[in-house]
Structure 1
């Protein structure tokens, strides 16, 4: 970093890799999956990245990591397969409150009703299995987090909560917002965190 801000440093890790392994036996490994598996946000230069590869007979994992920012990537070949699992559902209370508030009219939703809905929403979502949620898209910059849509059964229960908490005219507008039939096409979404690991 300079007084003017961040500077970009371009590294060619390939030459460092070739120099370290110049006398080793070489074997062609081809990817078995078109995707790299990142274990952290893309801006985290020290988070390991995995690629599943095969020599045609055995499947293995190439692990790329650096010990600190600015150091070259170090690669190692590991036995096993890459497992990416959805492990947790995350909820942004402020986003939920804002979506409900916007569905009605900014600033008019009663605080106690918003709080009651948020609690009902959390109770419903945390009872869901993260593996059953439909993925809409990845969170830019962090491949370990995706945006997911609630299943229809959860939306039906959520609609019941809305009708119990809000009056009829407000409930209609809120349900349209949660279902994505208003100006927000995504509707009611949650964040799903994925965990990447290598299993032998």
Structure 2
């Protein structure tokens, strides 16, 4: 089953229910030299505490996930948005220890993300020096890097995001240059390179403009939690307001 997020409307506390809530844990018994199976129920504390309270399910906006740590980092703090159809919430998710369960908390405000496109000029320089013979002068390479920076700076980061890849870090997106940007760089390069040298640079630009290429920009993101909650706007067209869920329903989910 997919994880499902529930909120106690009276206490404003959360639980994220997954198929692993009843998974067994195994502990080593050193005296008996064996492993002991312990049956767990991660839902029980929430159910007991909110037994007579009203509970509702929240729909998670999975594309809103953000963190300043890589995905593989187990102790990171992350944030995402969820809604009950009437209100939007920012959810904080974290754990204190590697072996501890994830914890969830509603924080006031909204997630604000800014994007900035960057290139790695020194990587371009090193790659040109490694691929092209005879060697091109440092001055010409510097001028080419400046051309790339100028063209990239004129691109809207949002347009780059439409065709980007997110790998191991939510704040770093790998992009590729589209044909119009590539053509602009090639055209401006004619003022720097001539003859066979220009042909080699032109081929270099085209060959290195995909996601893994040194010509392709990165989009680096920053985020803040702004203290300005947005109520009932972002998802109201696509979400059916969930009915309130009884404790009996929670036990069987």
For the 8 Å contact 1:91–1:191, the answer to whether it is kept is yes
CA deviation after TM superposition for structure 1 residue 145, in Å: 0.9
For residues 74-89 of structure 1, what are the structure 2 equivalents within 5 Å? 74-85=103-114, 87-89=115-117
**1:149 counterpart = 2:176:** yes
CA 1:47–1:26 in structure 2 vs 1: closer, same or farther (change >3 Å)?
Answer: farther
For residues 175-194 of structure 1, what are the structure 2 equivalents within 5 Å? 175-180=202-207, 185-186=210-211, 188-194=215-221
| Matching residue of 1:138 | 165
CA deviation after TM superposition for structure 1 residue 153, in Å: 4.4
**Structure 1 stretches (4+) deviating beyond 6 angstroms?**
none
CA deviation after TM superposition for structure 1 residue 64, in Å: 0.3
Select which of 56, 62, 79 maps to 2:91.
62
CA 1:134–1:127 in structure 2 vs 1: closer, same or farther (change >3 Å)?
Answer: same
Select which of 10, 19, 23 maps to 2:49.
23
Classify the secondary structure of the residue corresponding to 2:174.
Answer: strand
**1:164 counterpart = 2:198:** no
Select which of 52, 61, 66 maps to 1:33.
61
TM norm structure 1: 0.70
Q: Deviations over 1:133-171 (max 9, x none)?
A: 254442421121111233544333312331111122222
CA 1:62–1:134 in structure 2 vs 1: closer, same or farther (change >3 Å)?
Answer: closer
**1:90 counterpart = 2:121:** no
The CA distance in 2 between the partners of 1:197 and 1:18, in whole Å, is 34
The CA distance in 1 between the partners of 2:104 and 2:141, in whole Å, is 50
The CA distance in 1 between the partners of 2:88 and 2:82, in whole Å, is 6
Question: 30-39 vs 15-24, which deviates more?
Answer: 15-24
Select which of 139, 155, 159 maps to 1:128.
155
CA deviation after TM superposition for structure 1 residue 61, in Å: 2.2
What 5-or-longer segments of structure 2 have no aligned partner? 1-19, 23-40, 230-253
CA 1:112–1:68 in structure 2 vs 1: closer, same or farther (change >3 Å)?
Answer: farther
| Matching residue of 1:5 | none
| Matching residue of 2:235 | none
What is the alpha-carbon root mean square deviation over aligned residues? 3.3
TM norm structure 2: 0.58
Q: If you compute each CA radius of gyration, which structure gives the higher value, 1 or 2?
A: 2
| Matching residue of 1:100 | 128
CA 1:189–1:21 in structure 2 vs 1: closer, same or farther (change >3 Å)?
Answer: farther
Count of matched residue positions in the alignment of Structure 1 and Structure 2? 185
